[in-house]
Amino acid sequence: MSDSMKNSKKIYGPNPSFVENANVKKIDENLSIERFWEKEAERLHWFRKWDSVLEGEIPFTRWFTNGKINASYNCIDRHLNSWKKNKAALIFEGEPGDRAVYTYQDLYREVTKFSNVLKKMGINKGDVVTIYLPMIPQAVISMLACSRIGAVHSVVFGGFSSQALSDRINDSEAKLVITSDGYWRRGGIVQAKDRVDKALYETTTVDHVIVIQRSKNHIHMVKDRDYWYHELMDWAEIGCEAEAMDAEDDLFMLYTSGTTGKPKGVVHSTGGYLTGVSSTHHNVFDHKDEDVYWCAADIGWITGHSYIVYGPLSNGSTLLIYEGAPDYPAKDRTWDIVEKYSVSILYTAPTAIRMFMKWGEKWLENKNLSSLRLLGSVGEPINPEAWEWYYKNVGKGNCPIVDTWWQTETGSIMISSLPGINKMKPGSVCKPLPGICADVVDDKGESVPYGRNGYLVVKRPWPSMLRNVYKNTQRYVETYWSMFDGMFCTGDGAFKDEDGYIWVSGRVDDVIVCAGHNIGSAEVESSIVTHKSVAEAAAIGCNNAIKGLGICIFATLKEGEFPSRDLENELSEIIIAEIGKFAKPDKYFFAKELPKTRSGKIMRRLLRDVAEGRELGDTTTLLDVSVIDDFMTMDD
């Protein structure tokens, strides 16, 4: 554990006025895990109640057996018999500044009409529909229209290339693709439909493409294959009965972002998944009817599925979605949106927070952010530096931060503070939520004492866990269930501190073994970013001809800062002081950006290639390939 993590001795909150009104004020320790989840499932509308809460043996457990439920019904219809009928369900802001608001009644109309369109297009229960859309309301509508009729959606992030898209269409055997003519990004139009056309040269299963008109750029429509959404919707009837799905029926599949290897189609169930996301959205985000809730993720990721669509809408939230880039037309767009819509809950990722830090405080100084009452973080370990910055500059010291640990595979948040109960330690994800039995174990599967690194595992099944890897049960079992008997292996490394708080150090594959020491990349990175000039850093273990394995640092600097030997020496001194001499980096690379997956995770595999002077491996999941060319070292 580096000193910047260990010495983040500051402990915050919980704030007494927040506690008073919190959704969860105490945990009932006497509830069994099954009874806990049963109570959470009772928050939803079931067409038929389950016979038993949990059946089967790991890794093939079933939740709420024989229960009948529909996700779209829970996200829409359930709210129509109350005052929420006319509540804003979805507030949309487009990048050019256009906006739209959909009430729950509006959502009902649009979703049921689109469900009828899908049916007319030959989509039946169990068919797979690929959704390749930007952050526009029709993305949410499409997902809910699929789940309403029992079609399984496979959302492919809109930034993916045609190659990545066709791979995912082929693996899932999708029958239909929903896309847009294009969308706005930094003032320009991204040609989404062209990519679909190209992808479909490589596929055989797709019969139809439905195209949403967003940017009005010229596109090619293939006769009898491509149809305009607005034309189909003109004729569609309002009202479409929600299919009573078995709790264990598939709700969707989602390909994991994959910093390594071939993407896996993670399959989620209907009843268990919805229970998990609805419960955690209520408990962790402390969601209230009056909130304006903004999860700034993309629907292409699990965060978008669970905490833009299914969690919030099942709880009757008012959610906000924004189409474009956070720096367009200027670097204050995020704060403008918070002010304009009076956002009260903001959920974003450490990579975004570090970017805001790099841009500087001046972009938020004259914004009124007083509507904010809770902040969230997800996707990577948040270094204490960034945590403090977020707490102070965005939350103004008044908003609890929930650092939520979970995965595409876990479906919903597993480890997080509960804002009305737990104290927060910057950099720690706190403790497993009620109903979740997560632990840190050694390579024999024994719980490790506090302070010692180990593997983060889950020891009991939970409702929103993945049910399979699409068409590849063997991969499902091998990847997640074969390392330890009866435990779900998350692939993350972590340790517990003396209070039982969990500190995630990153993917186990990212642990650097240097001079016989195990060094978590997150520890080194967390130290380096304490230097005033550094915005973001990645620490990579790389072969060193002389020493065996050494550490290479890839860093981006804050605006107005430049690389120099002195800077390198200062950074090395910090690492030596905080971790030890054995961790002194061999080499520094400076760049404008770090290569990241489209979901914002640093692609360490590529950095390793750069550090070792190898040809680059697969770059198809990379957000911006050109960043690789910008690396510079003081040695060249």
Site for ligand WTA, rule CB under 6 A: 256-257, 301-303, 377-381, 403-408, 429, 490-492, 504, 506-507, 599
The closest of 582, 528, 530, 526 to 551, measured between CA atoms, is: 582
385, 354 in Cβ contact below 8 A?
Answer: no
Instruction: Return the percent helix, strand and coil in the chain, to nearest 5.
Output: 30, 25, 45
Identity of the residue, 5 or 88, whose beta carbon is nearer to ligand WTA in the bound complex: 5
Identity of the residue, 70 or 428, whose beta carbon is nearer to ligand WTA in the bound complex: 428
- Residue 457 tokens, joined: 């595992």
Give the nearest distance from C-beta 597 to ligand WTA in angstroms: 8
Give the nearest distance from C-beta 379 to ligand WTA in angstroms: 5
- Residue 636 tokens, joined: 């060249």
* DSSP designation for 84: G
Identity of the residue, 139 or 504, whose beta carbon is nearer to ligand WTA in the bound complex: 504
Angle at 211 between CA 249 and CA 599, to 5 degrees: 65
* DSSP designation for 391: I
Identity of the residue, 158 or 381, whose beta carbon is nearer to ligand WTA in the bound complex: 381
Give the nearest distance from C-beta 386 to ligand WTA in angstroms: 12
Identity of the residue, 123 or 458, whose beta carbon is nearer to ligand WTA in the bound complex: 458
Give the nearest distance from C-beta 378 to ligand WTA in angstroms: 5
Give the nearest distance from C-beta 503 to ligand WTA in angstroms: 9
- Stated length of the chain: 636
Identity of the residue, 380 or 525, whose beta carbon is nearer to ligand WTA in the bound complex: 380
Identity of the residue, 168 or 193, whose beta carbon is nearer to ligand WTA in the bound complex: 168
Identity of the residue, 269 or 377, whose beta carbon is nearer to ligand WTA in the bound complex: 377
Give the nearest distance from C-beta 534 to ligand WTA in angstroms: 20
Residue listed under structure tokens 């489209």: 598
**Cα–Cα distance, 84 to 317 (Å, whole number):** 9
Identity of the residue, 137 or 426, whose beta carbon is nearer to ligand WTA in the bound complex: 426
**Cα–Cα distance, 391 to 371 (Å, whole number):** 14
Strands (E) across 186-337 are located at 188-190, 208-212, 226-228, 245-246, 250-255, 265-269, 292-295, 318-322
Angle at 295 between CA 293 and CA 301, to 5 degrees: 150
Give the nearest distance from C-beta 428 to ligand WTA in angstroms: 9
37, 275 in Cβ contact below 8 A?
Answer: yes
Identity of the residue, 210 or 267, whose beta carbon is nearer to ligand WTA in the bound complex: 267
Phi, psi angle pair for 244, to nearest 5°: -80, 100
Give the nearest distance from C-beta 268 to ligand WTA in angstroms: 12
CB neighbour burial string for 472-492, b if at least 16 within 10 angstroms, e if fewer: eeeebeebbbebbeebbbbbb
Give the nearest distance from C-beta 456 to ligand WTA in angstroms: 8
Classified as helix, coil or strand, 598 is coil
Identity of the residue, 245 or 537, whose beta carbon is nearer to ligand WTA in the bound complex: 537
The closest of 438, 448, 442, 453 to 487, measured between CA atoms, is: 438
Give the nearest distance from C-beta 492 to ligand WTA in angstroms: 5
If you write DSSP's letter for every residue of 4-34 in order, what string do you get? Answer: HHHT----B---HHHHHH-S-----TTS-HH
When CB distances to ligand WTA are compared, the closest residue is 408
Rounded to whole angstroms, what are the CA distances from 263 to 128, 259, 375, 470? 17, 9, 30, 11
**Cα–Cα distance, 585 to 524 (Å, whole number):** 9
Give the nearest distance from C-beta 636 to ligand WTA in angstroms: 33
